[in-house]
Structure 1
Amino acid sequence: MIDQIRPSQLSEWLQAQPAGARPIVLDVREPWELQTASVKAEPGFELLAIPMNDIPARAAEIDPSRPIACLCHHGARSQRVAMFLAGNGFDNVANIAGGIDAWSAERDAGVPRY
């Protein structure tokens, strides 16, 4: 089962991670979507963007020992990526439910909605 966290709960999730573990917010949207609306890097996590369809070929770029919260537009693609990662040796994976749309509504109103 993949943990579901809302953007408003991300800070709590980040703080709950093991000491010294630098979490990753993995944005799996397409490049045009990143240009339309992007998350700003914040203290407490590294932002990494890899489109969903590139994840299988690029999974080696992601450290499986780090906590990963997957992000997309509304949460469906990121859920699929989270399930893929969990099935391939990634132990601490969550889905950001509601995606960047909810991020804009709950965490940073400066992020455009599309």
Structure 2
Amino acid sequence: MISDPMGQGNGIEIEAAGLRDMIAADADIQLIDVREPWEVDICRISDSRSIPLGDLQQRASELSTDKTMVMICHHGTRSYRATMWLRQNGFDKALNLAGGIDAWAREIEPGMPRY
């Protein structure tokens, strides 16, 4: 399910269960983790790609504008900023994982380490 916590009607967030369903359906998506490398070392969603937020602008050319991409961080704040920047720069299919990796760990993978 895609939601809009800011109430702007722009559907820029996806809940953990919605992402789980997309992954289970083998959807053609990019999972981009904008946390720092030490955070990714603690836990990560399989097949996610690490691009720290501070590197995103320089590495945006590595991303596809044709695919849906889900941005991931710890609680959803950094990835929300990344999603907004990407959308302002032509990545119209960028989505933010609501609640970040912490929501994923609580709701989808309860055995995943949390920090």
For the pair 1:58 / 2:64, whether they are aligned, the reply is no
Normalising by the residue count of structure 2, what TM-score does the alignment of the two structures yield? 0.83
Aligned to 1:80: 81
4+ residue runs over 6 A deviation: none
Query: Which residues of 2 match residues 28-107 of structure 1 at below 5 A?
Result: 28-41=34-47, 47-107=48-108
Is 1:25–1:69's contact at 8 Å kept on the other side of the alignment? yes
Aligned to 1:108: 109
**In angstroms, what is the RMSD of aligned CA positions?**
2.0
Deviations 1:39-81 (A, max 9, x none): 123xxxxx21100010000000111111001000000000000
Amino acid at match of 2:44: S
More contact order relative to length (CA 8 Å, sep ≥ 6): 1
Gap regions ≥5 residues in structure 1? 42-46
Is 1:2–1:83's contact at 8 Å kept on the other side of the alignment? no
Gap regions ≥5 residues in structure 2? 1-9
State the number of aligned residues: 106
Is 2:20–2:108's contact at 8 Å kept on the other side of the alignment? no
Calculate percent identity across the aligned residue pairs: 41
Q: Secondary structure at the match of 1:65?
A: coil
State the Cα distance separating 1:110 from its structure 2 match.
2.2
Aligned to 1:44: none
Normalising by the residue count of structure 1, what TM-score does the alignment of the two structures yield? 0.84
